[in-house]
Amino acid sequence: MLKVTRHIKESFYGLIRHAGMTFSSIMAVTITLTLMSLFLMISLNIRQISETVQGEVQIHVSITNTFDTESIKGLGEQIKIIDGVKAVVYSDKNNELDKFIAAYGPEGSIFEMYRGEDNPLRNAYIVEIKEGFDLKIISEQIENFVGVEKVNYGGENTLKLIRLMNGIRDVGLIVVLVLGSLAIFLIANTIKITIQSRFEEIKILKTLGATNSFIRAPMVLEGLVIGFLGSLVPVAITIYGYTYLYKALGGYLVTELFILRPIYPFVLQISYLLAILGVVVGLIGSFISVTRYLHIKP
């Protein structure tokens, strides 16, 4: 226990003695993790928006008036077994009229005259799909079924929107992975430079007969502290910055279709990731760097 306490004291003395290098290392970690947090929040929200958009995309299947109840039920079973179909919901004429009236707002009440036998609309199935890319393929399959009068999925514009959202999502993921790798490299390299600046100190300790573990332990702890301190500002920016933006935007981007991720536990998850990344990379970077210089001969 005494040995551990000594290593901790030595690590803090080392950080204070080399305050300039310590500060520059912490700043490098802070800047890198802040950029990573920014791109991570953007990427994950784009993913959320993409999934929301695809979840809202539905296929509207109008059923011919010649179909009786049993035939309509059979058609629904056919649609359900199509690969890629998530759910199938039946909507009768009255329900279709309700949606039609609601779409027109207060003025829609004039269409109430078509309620009952005078209703010109068709019974329908609302089909939800698992992946937006399957929208057109599934629609074409449904069109070939007997009893289907018309299939509407939004056309080419809907497909373009899905392709755009998926493209942005994929690019965002790539950027985060690249930035994550860059963050690890920069943090490790910065800590490596800090250790290099203490080459003479390591050499003197070796000359005095200090063991490798005695020299390594405080410096590895210094790397841990640098990584942790460097993550504090990015964590604060993540929590307070995202909370401010979320409330300012009302929880969505431009339209209520583009819903942002809720503040909690989203900001906490990213904060934990930043803190862990800072500490782990600080440990590994300092361990590798100091170990390399322990091979020198006194």
pLDDT digits (tens, 9 = 90+) for 228-276: 999 999 999 999 999 999 999 888 877 676 788 999 999 999 999 999 9
Residues in the chain: 298
CB 123 within 8 A of CB 91: yes
Average pLDDT over residues 43-65: 82
Position 171 scores a pLDDT of: 79
64 φ, ψ to 5°?
Answer: -60, 150
Average pLDDT over residues 44-62: 80
Position 132 scores a pLDDT of: 76
Which of 69, 79, 67 is closest to 145 using CA atoms? 79
pLDDT, one tens digit per residue, over 276-292 is 988 888 888 777 777 77
* Residue 296, pLDDT above cutoff 60: no
- Of residues 220 and 62, more confidently modeled: 62
Position 210 scores a pLDDT of: 67
Which of 51, 75, 52 is closest to 63 using CA atoms? 75
pLDDT, one tens digit per residue, over 146-197 is 999 999 887 777 777 777 777 777 777 787 778 777 766 776 677 677 666 6
- Of residues 46 and 90, more confidently modeled: 90
Position 8 scores a pLDDT of: 66
Q: CB neighbours of 16 closer than 8 A, spacing ≥ 6?
A: 22
Q: How far is CA 52 from CA 75, 85, 97, 134, 139, in A?
A: 28, 17, 26, 16, 20
Q: CA angle, 33 as apex, 170 and 181 as ends, to 5°?
A: 55
Helix (H, G, I), strand (E, B) or coil at 65: coil
Q: CB neighbours of 49 closer than 8 A, spacing ≥ 6?
A: 165, 253, 258, 259, 260
Average pLDDT over residues 213-220: 75
Alpha helices in the chain (DSSP H): 2-17, 19-56, 69-80, 93-103, 135-143, 155-196, 199-207, 212-236, 242-249, 263-293
Q: How far is CA 246 from CA 41, 83, 128, in A?
A: 12, 37, 29
* Residue 81, pLDDT above cutoff 70: yes
Average pLDDT over residues 21-41: 84
pLDDT, one tens digit per residue, over 96-139 is 888 888 877 777 777 777 777 778 888 999 998 887 778 888 99
d(CA 219, CA 287): 8
* Residue 49, pLDDT above cutoff 60: yes
Pair of tokens at residue 218:
């405080």
| From-to residues of CATH 3.30.70.3040 in the chain | 58-152
- CA-only gyration radius of the chain, Å: 31
* Residue 297, pLDDT above cutoff 60: no
- Choosing among 3.30.70.3040, 3.90.1170.50, 3.90.950.10, 3.40.50.1820, the CATH entry for 58-152 is 3.30.70.3040
d(CA 227, CA 277): 8
Which of 114, 70, 71 is closest to 93 using CA atoms? 114
Percent of the chain with pLDDT over 70: 84
